[in-house]
Amino acid sequence: MLKFSDFYKHTQSCFSPNGSYVASVVDQKRLVIRNNTASLTIMHVFECQYIIQQWHWSPNSKHILVVNTDKSIIQVWSLMDIYWHGRIKDDSFGIRRVWWSADSTSILCSSEFKLRISVWMLTDNQVRYIQYPKFMEKGCEISPDGKYVAVIENRQGKEGISIYTWSATALFKHIITDTIDLCNIKWSPDSQFLAVWDNCLYYKLLVYGVDGLLHTSYQAYEHGLGIKSIGWSSDSNLIAIGSYDQKVRLLRTSDWKLVSEFYHPSTLDQKFQKSAVSFDFLLYHF
């Protein structure tokens, strides 16, 4: 039979990436870290200066940060060293989006009004800046292997993608894309390719290598709304393109050929429901 823990007061909770801890926000300003066991033993209690509006685990689950964008402040704690505490504040440019680097050693922050992206280094207390970001909430992606960071930039009205070596220490490659209104980017899981696509008014997908070489340019049709979403297979052998024509198209990365199309109607009629795959759900008792 299922067993449940006691009730604990909280507003939001989140598991750590390694599944060992549970972070909970209590009374808006208190962050409680519990061990992910049946007893949910309290490991740490962190008192925050302001109301917690966001919080993010580091990928290695050794640090956790909280954000108050209204006050432009970030507080960081270590679960390995309870005496260590970091604080980032940017009153001049503000803080909008916050995320961790792949190696958990740095914190990236986008500023208000698309002014810059700050890279705060926890190891040496230094900060570096990436200028001319086009977006505040998207358009900056770290490669899965942690070696590069790709940023959609808008320099004097000209769009492009800059690929930096990690921690923004050096510009590795700048790519001028053949797009009208660059919408977003997405790394492949093996960090070999970077998918780039236009906004929904124009159907165009471009795939570049890390070296800036264009591998393919794909356009399914010319008239009508274009790409809605992009997804890579876990082995990077396929890329799925979700479009506004209710179809998902699969491209094979070995030769960039279209291998399949799947149609999903906006409404499910009786005929489609009968032909759809059915799933059986089983309830397991522990």
CA dihedral 255→256→261→266, nearest 10 degrees, is: 160
Q: Distance between CA 229 and CA 216 in Å, rounded? A: 17
Supply the pLDDT for residue 249. Answer: 97
User: 10 Å Cβ neighbour count for 278?
Assistant: 6
Supply the pLDDT for residue 170. Answer: 86
Q: Distance between CA 142 and CA 133 in Å, rounded? A: 14
- DSSP H/E element including 204: none
Supply the pLDDT for residue 51. Answer: 96
Residues near 132 by beta carbon (within 8 Å), at least 6 away in sequence: 116, 153, 154, 155
Closest CA to 176 of 152, 195, 198, 149: 152
Closest CA to 254 of 171, 155, 188, 164: 188
Cβ–Cβ < 8 Å for 224, 212? no
Q: Distance between CA 178 and CA 167 in Å, rounded? A: 27
Ordered by start, the domain boundaries in the chain are 8-67
Q: Where are the beta strands (DSSP E) in 17-157?
A: 21-26, 30-35, 42-47, 54-57, 63-68, 73-78, 85-89, 97-100, 106-110, 116-121, 127-131, 140-142, 148-155
Kindly give the parts of the chain with pLDDT less than 50.
276-286
Supply the pLDDT for residue 278. Answer: 46
Supply the pLDDT for residue 265. Answer: 73
Supply the pLDDT for residue 35. Answer: 94
Supply the pLDDT for residue 247. Answer: 94
Only one residue has tokens 């914190």, namely 107
Supply the pLDDT for residue 15. Answer: 95
Q: Distance between CA 278 and CA 284 in Å, rounded? A: 19
Closest CA to 253 of 242, 240, 262: 240
pLDDT digits (tens, 9 = 90+) for 205-223: 999 999 999 999 999 999 8
pLDDT digits (tens, 9 = 90+) for 86-100: 999 999 999 999 999
